[in-house]
Chains A and B, each alone.
Chain A
């Protein structure tokens, strides 16, 4: 069965919005607020009494040396780790202990430091999996691809095709992702995260291991996602040039503590940050 689309409806990308998790927040309102959060694994304090917030519509970077607690922070935000202390408020609601699937349903999606795609599946199928939390028709009908389930599937496919178009990966639509180069796999992973139409997108080192050109492409996509869909983005990144260029605000962690928070300029002029991370000597 072919998917029927009305003829000549060149669907302009500008009409394309990812708004399944639309909320009533205005850009600039606080979407996620962490207060005095601490997380320990036995004696190791991965996160120690950290407070910061993420505002709707911004690109928020989390930086810090290896082992500073950045990924733990992301895992706390998407509900994979549960902090022993502190409160997390997401879209005005205080969060209790919950599963990461619930976080996904509430519009938080993410990518991983070491790509977590289904290697044997095509790009298209991988991105389709991002729609799972938005599919709500009967599983039995879905399996038969019949009636309302088929209609729903076509709608999801349309969104996925728009994401493929947006990320310019048409040429690998049917390629198993295991055969793709690293930079493209990262892009597919971003596509899958976008497919969930997130209100808050978490990116764990989206540019790790990329060459300059791939980094520039990825930066462009991140900025485009942010400006076109208004998606709030929190990202971890080691490339200082990239962080300073694309983020609105930066929080700096070191040994589980927050040592700096502010605009890229403020942070790069902060002596504690320079000592811990940027590695410039004292005057």
Chain B
């Protein structure tokens, strides 16, 4: 690659180079949409370049230098996305942080990355930063997007976003060469700089800053954008957390390399509505979002009239039978095709429309294993939902499924240009184009994660099936054995239970013990709706969770999962013996789940140790006191007597046959 990345027809190697290119080749095409004051506002690529140029030059005027970190905190708003590109254009490094991180978490990341500049969304984030001034001594300038409530703040090192941009514009107006130099500097880059530091969600401990190199990030994004044929005609709704690799990759990186249009929702509460309005062609959501959608659809159908209910049930059956085959272009009997066509007109089409899925060409899910039934449900409705497996360290993609070769129980073959292998103990290791260069400020951790020959250890246990598709079983360190030697893969059991719409979260225990026991979290929406329909009154989550009829319902779910497990020779030994419904929802503020809603198994185990003990010592109930953290960081206590239920276990299928 020549030093001038864009010279002599060469491909761009950084995102700002793509910005300049798109501003020329797609000048009038929409780059960014944002619903503001109830109306979708649009910025074309050319306009987006101008916005970013004025911001970048404004930041440079304030003293932002090459190689420095710029914290970006907030929800999906155009200006925050521009801050990414503006920082990158100066070879500074964007460091996005989760908007809902509490002040301490935020301070940890900012301090770890040693940032001087922070671009944040609003007063909430400014308050958090100001409260942590002592813990982040490096922080000098805070730039905010939304000024509400900030009028009376001390503006010594607090700046309005527009003020910074105005500064940049004034500089450009006074000396046109500034803009030329800015562009020349962008073009001159060979892509070897770090283009972002993304902090891992910290499922297994304190989060680490993953450094991604510009040229590698661009290459990875080009590969997958090509894989899914993304073009400037595609539209995405950018609603995922800015700090998560998924958002940075699927929205930001793929948008810049393919020229697609990113749409930012009006607020976090309007995402569902905005999804319908925008009608994205490329969509990503973690399994829990699809779970939530399925739950809401089923709840609403419960409230529908008998005719609609029958129609829905009938055509859902048709979809289950033929839907996936039709989606994959396989042969289907003529009658099936006709039934599916009618179903599409009557049920699937309108349903897709309500969900905002009408225009979807490609949809992905990842982050956690998805229930096979849940996965098939959306595919059978005609949504081309696929799975990918990825990591922050890979800049997302490790594997992804090809159109027409999609299965629920695998995550697909290696993504383009990715090498995968399994270590001796079954751990998945990979080498990919977008691979990180190391953890920021933690060379010893980088060394732990990388093998000597440059592969990344994922920490996930997996197997390849006969078609070369990777199957992830669980976190490598979570897979264990019961005392009788049966395999215990907690996630496998949890996912089976979580497919029931009224089960929100499950934590299974059993490694090194005699049998498997689980904690359940009910889904407040689904169970609340059920309670309403059955005239059951309740005052709180805690009360609802403790109702005998809810326990009865949960017992049936656990029994049916046990029946399923009994059918699988590998898993039959790990049936659930006892269960309890937790008295509170697992919450990221209490550290029980990560900001991406993954259960922190070890922490939950320690926190509720008395309950686990009660599960195994045969007691029927247990009194517990639990400390909880409120959204503003204050702490309180809740107390409860949690009941424990017994489930039925079934003889393993293999055993039965042998006996006969």
Question: Contact between A171 and B269 (Cβ–Cβ < 8 Å)?
Answer: yes
The reply to whether A170 and B266 form a contact with Cβ atoms under 8 Å apart is yes
How long is the Cα–Cα vector from A228 to B146 in the complex, in angstroms? 13
B267 in complex: contacting residue of A9, A11, A170, A224, CB < 8 Å: A170
The complex places the Cα of A216 from the Cα of B146 at a distance, in Å, of 19
Per-position 1/0 for B132-158, Cβ under 8 A of A: 000000000000001111011000000
A173 to B160 alpha-carbon distance, docked (Å): 28
B162 & A12 in contact (Cβ 8 Å cutoff): yes
Chain B interface extent, by class: 20 to 34
Binds A, one of B38-46, B372-380, B466-474, B586-594: B38-46
List residues of B (32-59) whose CB comes within 8 Å of A's CBs: 34-39, 41-43, 47
Determine the distance from Cα of A168 to Cα of B270 in the docked complex, in whole angstroms.
11
A13, B146: Cβ atoms closer than 8 Å: yes
In the complex, which residue of chain A has the Cβ closest to the Cβ of B36? A10
Q: How far apart sit A12 and B151, CA to CA, in the bound complex (Å)?
A: 13
Cβ of A5 < 8 Å from any Cβ of B? yes
Beta-carbon contact of B267 and A168 below 8 Å: yes
Contact stretch, chosen from A59-67, A104-112, A156-164, A186-194: A156-164
The answer to whether A228 and B149 touch across the interface, beta carbons within 8 angstroms, is yes
Decide yes or no whether B105 CB sits under 8 A from chain A.
no
| Beta-carbon contacts under 8 Å, A161-196 to B | 161-162, 164-166, 168, 170-171, 173
Is B453 on the interface with A (CB-CB < 8 A)? no
Interface pair B47/A161, CB less than 8 Å apart: no
Are B147's CB and A13's CB within 8 A? Answer: yes
Interface presence of B632 (CB below 8 A): yes
Closest to A229 in B: B151
Residues of A near B160 (CB, < 8 A) are 12, 14
Contact of A165 among B37, B41, B269 (CB under 8 A): B37
B631 at the interface (CB under 8 A from A): yes
Q: Which B residues, 150 to 183, have Cβ-Cβ distances below 8 Å to chain A? A: 151-152, 160, 162
Candidates B38, B41, B151, B269; contact of A10 at CB < 8 Å: B41
Minimal beta-carbon separation of A94 from chain B (angstroms): 34
Residue B273 lies at the interface, judged by CB distance under 8 Å to chain A: yes
Residues of B near A171 (CB, < 8 A) are 266-267, 269-270, 273
* Chain A residues in 8 Å Cβ range of B34: 10
Residues from chain B with Cβ under 8 Å of A162 in the complex: 37
Q: How far, in angstroms, from A227 to B149 measured CA to CA in the complex?
A: 7
- Bound CA span A13–B145, Å: 10
> Given the complex of chains A and B, what is the CA–CA distance between A228 and B452 in angstroms?
59
In the assembly, what is the distance between CA of A59 and CA of B18, in Å?
A: 52
- Nearest Cβ distance between residue B139 and chain A, in whole angstroms? 23
Question: Is the pair B149, A220 in contact by a Cβ cutoff of 8 Å?
Answer: yes
Kindly identify which residue among B148, B267, B270 contacts A228, using a CB–CB cutoff of 8 Å: B148
Mask of A209-253 contacts with B, CB within 8 angstroms, 1/0: 000010010001001100110000000000000000000000000
B41 touches A228 (CB 8 A): no
Q: How far is the CB of A230 from chain B (nearest CB, A)?
A: 10
Once the chains bind, are B148 and A170 in contact (CB under 8 Å)? no
User: Which B residues are in CB contact (< 8 Å) with A116?
Assistant: none
Interface contact A14-B147, CB-CB below 8 Å: yes
Give the distance in Å from the alpha carbon of A162 to the alpha carbon of B152 in the complex: 20
- Whether the pair A161, B147 counts as a contact (CB closer than 8 A) is no
The number of chain A residues with a CB under 8 A from chain B is 27
Measured CA separation A11–B162 after assembly (Å):
10
Does A274 sit within 8 A of B, measured CB to CB? no
Tell me if A170 and B269 are in contact (CB < 8 A): yes
Residues from chain A with a CB closer than 8 A to the CB of B631 are 213
Closest to B35 in A: A170
Residues of B within 8 A of A228 (CB): 148-149, 151
Please name the residue on chain A nearest to B146 by beta carbon: A13
* Nearest Cβ on chain B to A57's Cβ, whole angstroms: 12
- Tell me whether A25 is interfacial, beta carbon within 8 Å: no
Contacting residues, chain B, for A220 (C-beta < 8 A): 149
Chain A neighbourhood of B151, CB < 8 A:
14, 227-228
A36 vs chain B, min Cβ distance (A): 36
Given A14-B160, A171-B273: A223 in contact with B149 (beta carbons within 8 A): yes
Within the assembled complex, what's the spacing in Å between the Cα atoms of A10 and B42? Answer: 10
Q: Which residue of A lies closest to B267 (CB)?
A: A170
In contact, A164 and B149 (Cβ under 8 angstroms): no
Contacts of B149 in A (CB 8 A): 220, 223-224, 227-228
Q: Is the CB of B43 within 8 A of A11?
A: no
A224→B153 CA distance, assembly (Å): 12
Least CB distance from B540 to A in Å reads: 12
A227 to B148, CA, bound (A): 10
- Convert B50-93 into 0s and 1s, putting 1 for each residue whose CB lies closer than 8 angstroms to a CB of A: 00000000000000000000000000001100000000000000
Query: Which one of B39, B148, B162 has the greatest number of beta carbons of chain A within 10 Å?
Result: B148
**Please, which residues of chain B bring their CB within 8 A of the CB of A216?**
632
- A141 proximal to B (CB < 8 A): no
Q: How far is the CA of A158 from the CA of B36 in the complex (A)?
A: 11
Q: Determine if B38 and A11 form an interchain contact, defined as CB atoms under 8 angstroms apart.
A: no
Closest to A6 in B: B41
A3 within 8 A of B: yes
- How long is the Cα–Cα vector from A184 to B572 in the complex, in angstroms? 50
How would residues 7 to 22 of chain A score, 1 for a CB under 8 Å from any chain B CB and 0 otherwise?
Answer: 1111111100000000
How far does the Cβ of A216 sit from chain B's closest Cβ, in whole Å? 7
Q: Which residues of A contact B148 (CB under 8 A)?
A: 13, 166, 224, 228
- Complex Cα distance A5/B42, Å? 11
CA distance A248 to B167 in the complex (A): 37
Shortest beta-carbon distance from A222 to chain B in Å: 11
Once the chains bind, are B39 and A5 in contact (CB under 8 Å)? Answer: yes
A11 surroundings in chain B (CB, below 8 A)? 36-37
**CB closest chain-B residue, reference A4:** B39
Given contacts A13-B148, A170-B267, contact A8 B38 (CB under 8 A): no
What is the bound-complex CA distance between A14 and B632, given in angstroms? 26
Mask: chain A, 128-156; 1 = CB below 8 Å from B; 0 = not: 00000000000000000000000000000
Cβ-defined contact, A7 with B37, below 8 A: no
With the chains together, A213 CA to B636 CA distance in Å? 14
Question: When chains A and B are docked, how far (Å) is the Cα of A151 from the Cα of B166?
Answer: 31
- Contact: A3 with B39, CB < 8 Å? yes
CB distance from B587 to the nearest CB of A (A): 14
Asked whether B38 lies within 8 Å of A161 as measured between CB atoms, the reply is yes
With the chains together, A17 CA to B266 CA distance in Å?
A: 21
Closest A residue to B161 using CB positions: A12
Q: Which residue of A lies closest to B32 (CB)?
A: A8
Contacting residues, chain A, for B632 (C-beta < 8 A): 216
Q: Which of A164, A165, A220 has the most CB of B within 10 A?
A: A165
Taking a contact as CB atoms under 8 Å apart, the answer to whether B270 and A8 are in contact is no
Least distance between A188 CB and chain B CB atoms (Å): 15
Q: How far is the CB of B311 from chain A (nearest CB, A)?
A: 27
Q: How far is the CB of B232 from chain A (nearest CB, A)?
A: 18
Contact yes or no, B38 A7, CB < 8 A: no
Cβ of B41 and Cβ of A7 under 8 Å apart?
yes
Contacting residue for B37 out of A8, A161, A224, CB 8 A: A161
Task: List the A residue with the shortest CB-CB distance to B269.
Answer: A171
Cα–Cα, bound, A2→B248 (Å):
34
In whole angstroms, how far apart are the Cα atoms of A7 and B369 in the complex?
A: 43
A12 vs B39: C-alpha distance in the bound complex, in angstroms?
A: 15
With both beta carbons as reference points, the residue of chain A lying nearest to B77 in the complex is identified as A10
A170 and B270 contacting across the interface, CB-CB below 8 Å = yes
Which residue in chain A gives the minimum CB-CB distance to B48?
A: A8
What's the minimum C-beta distance from B378 to chain A, rounded to whole angstroms? 25
Closest-by-CB residue of B relative to A157 is B38
Most buried by B among A5, A13, A220: A13
Contact call A170/B42, Cβ cutoff below 8 A: no
Hey, which chain B residues are within 8 Å of A223, CB to CB? 149
Chain B residues within an 8 Å CB radius of A227: 149, 151-152
Top 3 nearest A-B pairs (CB, nearest first) are A171-B269, A161-B37, A14-B147
What are 17 A-B contacts defined by CB distance under 8 Å? A5-B41, A7-B41, A9-B41, A10-B78, A12-B147, A13-B146, A14-B147, A158-B37, A164-B37, A165-B36, A170-B269, A171-B266, A171-B269, A171-B270, A173-B38, A220-B149, A228-B148
Other than A8-B47, A12-B162, A164-B38, give 9 A-B pairs with Cβ distance below 8 A.
A5-B37, A5-B39, A12-B147, A14-B151, A161-B38, A164-B37, A170-B38, A171-B269, A220-B149
